[in-house]
Amino acid sequence: MSTELLIGIHSVEAALNYDAGNIVELYVESDSQNPRVRELAERARELGVKPHARDRAALDRMTGGGRHQGVAARYKAPPARSDAELPALIEAAGSEALFLVLDGVTDPHNLGACLRSAEAAGVTAVIVPKDRAVGMTATVRRASAGAADRVPLVAATNLARALRVLKDAGVWLTGLAGEATISLHAIDFRGPVAIVMGGEGEGMRRLTREACDHLAHIPMKGRVESLNVSVATGIALFEVLRQRGAGR
């Protein structure tokens, strides 16, 4: 059984709240004065997960000196969803469908931040290629601040085919590209849509770009040529929400 080590209050708390059954072992600092660590231990007991006390030195060794905040867990991560589940996700979301497609994001911190923005924006699912992209690692989970356990992640064996499934179901695809002539704010995002982002450095691959119904850029006044993919993702997703009247 393959497990990963979750460290820190946010990561462990999210796993307890949303996927306690996949926590194999839970470790808490034996003499921690942090009330949140004690609350996590009590919450774990209520869920049938026995916390094991370890001193700080043991936790430091276990986590390789990582910022564990007095808590760590061995976790059996569930597999990502397959692209075969896309039709059901599209149907369930209806006219409010909002997908985020990440074509080759390789930095775990970027993926985690994108998942965090996706959860905040109520994204239906995040779609990534099964290969040439970072998977769901412990670093991704920490960077997502719990969002990794709340947003469906679809690992597509063939990303171009997954995009075709979206298009055939009436989902409009908008890719972000710095050289695009249309502003992001000029696109109509009412109805089922997908925001398509390229990976760090190379951007979208050719087939991904060609699958998009629109290419748009984020208007900028400064000299920077491009934004970090997680920052650009947040801007795009919340433009969709703005147009849909979220929060009104």
For the stretch 157-210, pLDDT in tens is 999 999 999 999 999 999 999 899 999 999 999 999 999 999 887 789 999 999
Question: Low-confidence residues of the chain, pLDDT below 70?
Answer: 1, 247-248
The sheet with strand 51-54 has its strands ordered as 4-7, 71-75, 23-29, 51-54
Q: What total of structural domains would you count in the chain?
A: 2
Asked if residue 134 belongs to a domain, the reply is yes
CA distance 171 to 169: 6
Same structural domain for residues 106 and 127? yes
Which candidate, 99, 93, 120, places its Cα nearest to that of 247?
120
* Tokens linked to 224: 């920077």
Asked if residue 19 belongs to a domain, the reply is yes
The per-residue pLDDT for 152 is 92
Same structural domain for residues 99 and 217? yes
The per-residue pLDDT for 19 is 81
For 129-156, b/e burial (b = at least 16 CB within 10 A) is: bbeebbebebbbbbbbbbbbbebbbbbb
The per-residue pLDDT for 247 is 52
Same structural domain for residues 103 and 145? yes
Same structural domain for residues 43 and 85? no
Torsion angle, alpha carbons of 115, 119, 125, 129, to 10? 0
Q: Last residue of some domain: 38, 57, 75?
A: 75
Q: At 64, which CATH number?
A: 3.30.1330.30
Same structural domain for residues 51 and 152? no
Asked if residue 39 belongs to a domain, the reply is yes
Q: Find out whether 80 and 175 touch, Cβ atoms under 8 Å.
A: no
C-alpha distances in angstroms, 52 versus 14, 15, 36, 70, 231? 18, 16, 16, 12, 39
Same structural domain for residues 62 and 130? no
The per-residue pLDDT for 138 is 74
The per-residue pLDDT for 31 is 87
Same structural domain for residues 155 and 62? no
Same structural domain for residues 26 and 85? no
Q: Which structural domain, as residue segments, surrounds residue 121?
A: 81-243
Say what angle helices 9-19 and 35-46 make with each other, to 10 degrees: 20
Q: At 117, which CATH number?
A: 3.40.1280.10
Residue 107 C-beta-side C-alpha neighbours within 13 Å: 12
The per-residue pLDDT for 147 is 85
Asked if residue 248 belongs to a domain, the reply is no
Q: Last residue of some domain: 55, 75, 95?
A: 75
Same structural domain for residues 160 and 230? yes
The per-residue pLDDT for 78 is 77
Q: Last residue of some domain: 24, 47, 75?
A: 75
